[in-house]
Amino acid sequence: MNDFNYQLLDEIIHSRIRLAVMALLISVEEAEFNYLKEKVKATDGNLSVHLKKLEEAEYISVKKEFIDRKPKTMYTLTKTGKTAFNQYLISLENLIKK
Amino acid sequence: MNDFNYQLLDEIIHSRIRLAVMALLISVEEAEFNYLKEKVKATDGNLSVHLKKLEEAEYISVKKEFIDRKPKTMYTLTKTGKTAFNQYLISLENLIKK
């Protein structure tokens, strides 16, 4: 049976940009800022704000690296983030299943 | 292949309360305000604001009725709302599929 209680959906994940970021990060080992930006189609500022929120929730971790002497910011899903995302998918499925 | 473009998710539907309302309404012929409130677990004020937004987008229609001399407000998904919701589910699936 469906559960329509909207509060079961993790509000940290359930914003369009953050959901897109989480879905992308669960499918790759790590992703660089510009790659995320290109895939998610968000602006720099907007993406940064949402990444910050995911980082504060400890759903993602951030690492600065130099590749070919250029600074790169790499993002990875944490274990907490993976658990939260899988739980989110279960709640979502319970909400929208027919 | 996944499409992580967050803008493909209809922002009118993609708010937790509105998504819960749409998911409920697609499964029933019509629903009364208090029934929606109980199922979605939203407060009166919050639910009203979100229902208004769905009505303005013409995703739902509203009808006032008297049942046992008591006023009831009934909500139904419109054809536009059904189409939008089905498109939303497709975009969502494209975003989160593994």
Calculated CA dihedral for residues A56, A61, A62, A66, nearest 10 degrees: 170
Q: What is the pLDDT of residue A59?
A: 98
Whether the per-residue pLDDT at B62 is higher than 90: the answer is yes
Instruction: Determine, for residues A14 and B16 on separate chains, whether the beta-carbon distance falls below 8 Å.
Output: yes
Q: Judged by CB atoms within 8 Å, which residues 51-90 of B form the interface with A?
A: 89
Whole-angstrom distance, CA of residue B28 vs CA of residue A78: 39
User: Any idea what DSSP says for residue A97?
Assistant: -
Instruction: Determine, for residues A2 and B11 on separate chains, whether the beta-carbon distance falls below 8 Å.
Output: no
In this structure, the number of other CB atoms found within 10 A of the CB of residue B62 comes to: 13
- The residues, ordered by sequence, that sit 6+ positions from B1 with a Cβ below 8 Å of its Cβ are none
> What strand order describes the sheet that includes B70-77?
B31-32, B70-77, B60-67
Structure tokens at A98: 């027919």
> Would A97 be classed as within a structural domain?
no
> Would A2 be classed as within a structural domain?
no
Q: What is the mean pLDDT of residues B41-57?
A: 97
Percent of the residues in chain B that have a pLDDT greater than 70, as a whole number: 100
pLDDT in tens, A2-11: 999 999 999 9
> Would A50 be classed as within a structural domain?
yes
Q: Which of B1, B2, B6 best tests the A interface by mutation, with the highest count of A CBs <10 A?
A: B6
Higher-scoring residue by pLDDT: B67, A79? A79
Q: Are B40 and B20 in contact (CB under 8 A)?
A: yes
> Would B69 be classed as within a structural domain?
yes
pLDDT in tens, A17-52: 999 999 999 999 899 999 999 999 999 999 999 999
Whole-angstrom distance, CA of residue B14 vs CA of residue B37: 18
Containing domain of residue B63, as a range?
7-93
Q: What is the pLDDT of residue A24?
A: 97
> Would A96 be classed as within a structural domain?
no
Q: Are B51 and B15 in contact (CB under 8 A)?
A: no
Q: What is the pLDDT of residue B1?
A: 82
Instruction: Determine, for residues A16 and B6 on separate chains, whether the beta-carbon distance falls below 8 Å.
Output: yes
Instruction: Determine, for residues A40 and B4 on separate chains, whether the beta-carbon distance falls below 8 Å.
Output: yes
Instruction: Determine, for residues A6 and B39 on separate chains, whether the beta-carbon distance falls below 8 Å.
Output: no
> Would B67 be classed as within a structural domain?
yes
Of A2, A23, A96, the CB nearest to B95: A23
ipTM greater than cut 0.90: yes
Identify the CATH number of the domain in which residue B26 sits.
1.10.10.10
> Would B21 be classed as within a structural domain?
yes
* Total number of domains in chain B: 1
Q: Which of B43, B96, B97, B98 best tests the A interface by mutation, with the highest count of A CBs <10 A?
A: B96
Residue B91, classed as helix, strand or coil, is: helix
